[in-house]
Amino acid sequence: MALSTSGFGTREEAWPALPFAEWKDTYATLHRYTQVLGKVRLALTPPENHWWNVSFRVTSRGLTTGLIPYGNGSFEVDFDFLANELRFLTSRGDVRVMELTARSVAEFYRDVMSTLRELGVEVRIWEQPVEIPDDTTPFSQDTHHATYVPGHVRNWWRALLQAHIAMKEFRAGFTGKCSPVQFFWGSFDLAVTRFGGRPAPARPGADAVTAEAYCEEVCSVGFWPGTEALGGAAFYCYAAPEPKGFAEASVKPAGAGYDANLKEFLLPYEAVRRAEDPRAFLLDFFQSTYDACADLGKWDRARCERPLIIPESVKGAWRSVTLPEQPPAESSP
């Protein structure tokens, strides 16, 4: 792959290789680390629609819980993957730092809870990990996940950062209801969700989490580490409820395909990083899969994709795609 410099480094540095077999043990450990802090956030933040109160945000150094209210103040916890640190910051000015290094989940959980108590934060969480069906060992008893290779974490985070940048650009072209670009520690994926504006049919047997997440028609795109069977990291798109014909839709770019088991379109991360223009390649995937969802689902695209009202001087400064003056006529149902 030819290297080119742009902005803050080469393309290869921005889109590093993510061989799943090499980093899967670190991934499993880090997944549980994020769930410990995610459950603290869940316990202490007021509920928001579609569980947006529990998600993390990508930062220029890693991930953050964002502001968590407590008493008359607040705190936040940042994963700094460049310095290999977990930073606890409070509105009183307190700072505590834990090293991010190879340690068991049980030890990590103990030290996190101890640090929070030291800062005056009393919180109890449900210790069992979620959305990891093959292992439900409580955090305080998990001594078998203890791998943390900083280089592997940084490579994953750099890929996550590029995914975030592309998703922010994709989000800019939609003026209907849309989620933030957010990291879900349960499924360990980064996602942005567009809403069609209509309620969705109730899902039979859905638990409270699922029922709230999918109470409206949505189209979500995202990035996740994937599985060994799938060949590792991938970008995805799904529609809920899935409109008739979605699975057979023609989407871009070459290499993208529908997985009947997951009921999602997938685009391998490796195909993106090897593209001549990875971000444009990825945006083609996001846009074409969304087009299929919105058109087949008969979304009111004229309402959801109205032009932004912004000064021309600001438009000219954008790196993002140019917003259309009006939605294409054939897009409207």
For 214-239, the pLDDT digits (tens) are 999 999 999 999 999 999 999 999 99
- Residue matched to tokens 């899902």: 203
From the CA atom positions of the chain, what is the Rg in Å? 20
Inform me whether the pLDDT recorded for 3 exceeds 90: no
Where on the phi/psi map is residue 121: left (φ > 0), alpha (ψ -120 to 50), or beta?
beta
Average pLDDT along the chain: 93
Contact 264, 237 (CB under 8 A): yes
Q: pLDDT-derived band of residue 331, with 50, 70 and 90 as boundaries?
A: very low
How far, in Å, are 7, 15, 113, 267 from residue 244 at the CA level?
43, 35, 48, 21
pLDDT in tens, 136-183: 999 999 999 999 999 999 999 999 999 999 999 999 999 999 999 999
- The Cα–Cα gap between 108 and 234 comes to 28
Cis preceding-peptide flag for 253 (omega within 30 of 0): yes
- The Cα–Cα gap between 136 and 129 comes to 6
Joined tokens for residue 14: 């921005």
Percent of the chain scored above 90 by pLDDT? 86
pLDDT in tens, 273-302: 999 999 999 999 999 999 999 999 999 999
Cis preceding-peptide flag for 333 (omega within 30 of 0): no
Cα angle 239-240-241, degrees, rounded to a multiple of 5: 115
Contact 130, 54 (CB under 8 A): no
- The Cα–Cα gap between 216 and 50 comes to 9
How far, in Å, are 11, 98, 267, 270 from residue 256 at the CA level?
22, 40, 4, 12
Please tell me whether residue 264 adopts helix, strand or coil conformation. strand
> How many CB atoms within 10 Å of residue 197?
13
pLDDT in tens, 119-134: 999 999 999 999 998 9
Q: What is the bridge-based pairing of β-strands 85-90 and 95-99?
A: antiparallel
**pLDDT at residue 263 in the model:** 97
Contact 63, 79 (CB under 8 A): yes
**pLDDT at residue 314 in the model:** 72
Own/partner long-range contacts of 239-242 (Cβ < 8 Å, ≥24 apart): 239/292, 239/293, 239/297, 240/200, 240/214, 241/200, 241/201, 241/217
Joined tokens for residue 76: 């936040």
How far, in Å, are 150, 239, 322 from residue 164 at the CA level?
20, 20, 19
What residues pair up with 259 in beta bridges, in sequence order? 264
